Amino acid sequence: MNVSVENLVFSYRSDPILNGVDINVGRGEIVGLLGPNGSGKSTLIKNVLGFLKPNSGRVTFSNVGENATLSAGDIARLVAFVPQLTTLRATITVFEAVLMGRLPHITDRWGGYGTEDREKALAVIESIGLSHLMHREVPTLSGGEMQKVIIARCLVQESNVLLLDEATSGLDINHAVEIMEILRGKADDQGKCILTVLHDINLAAQFCDRLFLLKGGTVYRSGPPDAVLTRDVVRDVYGIDAIVMFDADGTPIVVPRRSAAGIGIKEAAGV
């Protein structure tokens, strides 16, 4: 399964948000969608999901067709979505929350979940290390635990395409890396096609195969992290000076610099 966004244009009333965006995500690939606030990242995800209808352009799933011609049920089986830090307020258990991911596969609404649905939910819970929380009520979970539950609900849906909108924002570094490791494993082992909005540039550089940097509703730069994350690009897209280094594997590490005024004060003080 591949996802292709072609020349997509979208406006909220008279306010242009996306202008001729082209993005593609292949099987077994994690593609990171980066850019400053207001650059159109979340709007693009909603267009891929079919939540929003573009002014022009199209979103296509290989071997299936355009999302504009698919029903909501078709898209739910094809695509799983992880929003930013969603909180489940219902007093249901972790197992029940994960099991909800099987809803698109239920053919008999009166019959409810079957044995296979429950077995799949248990398998996913075990695979991402949630077994010890299985009977906990979700309102009692921490932010990181909650995001793992949402990821598990997404995975048990068994969709080939995973879309994530800032799923690691607000999490400590341990939980953020853990979630990205889970996604990396699903892309490598199961060929999942993953498009994720990220604000953490270094997390994106470490786990994504390719990056698309949005600026002003257009793709400013795209490609592998080591080609995209240059000092000039970071300055142009984010408006900040940064030092770009590389680790032993050639993965870029972006270190933002303080303003010239702040640096000058510290240097004058002999720090």
What are the tens digits of pLDDT across the range 102-161?
Answer: 888 887 766 788 899 999 999 999 988 899 999 999 889 888 888 889 889 999 998 899
Residue 244 CA to chain centroid, in angstroms?
24
Beta strands in 114-169 (DSSP E): 161-165
Q: What pLDDT is stored for residue 87 in this prediction? A: 62
Read off the amino acid at residue 101: G
- Residues in CB range of 27: below 8 A, 6 or more apart: 1, 2, 160, 191, 192, 193
Give the Cα-Cα-Cα angle 95, 114, 118 (nearest 5 degrees): 25
Tokens representing 100?
A: 């909800």
Residue 1, amino acid: M
45 CA to centre of own chain: 9
Domains of the chain: 3-225 (3.40.50.300)
Mean pLDDT by 10 residues, the chain (271 residues): 92 91 96 94 93 92 77 81 74 93 79 88 91 92 87 90 88 88 92 94 96 96 96 93 93 84 44 37
| pTM of the complete model | 0.86
Strand order in the sheet with 3-12: 15-25, 3-12, 56-61, 65-66
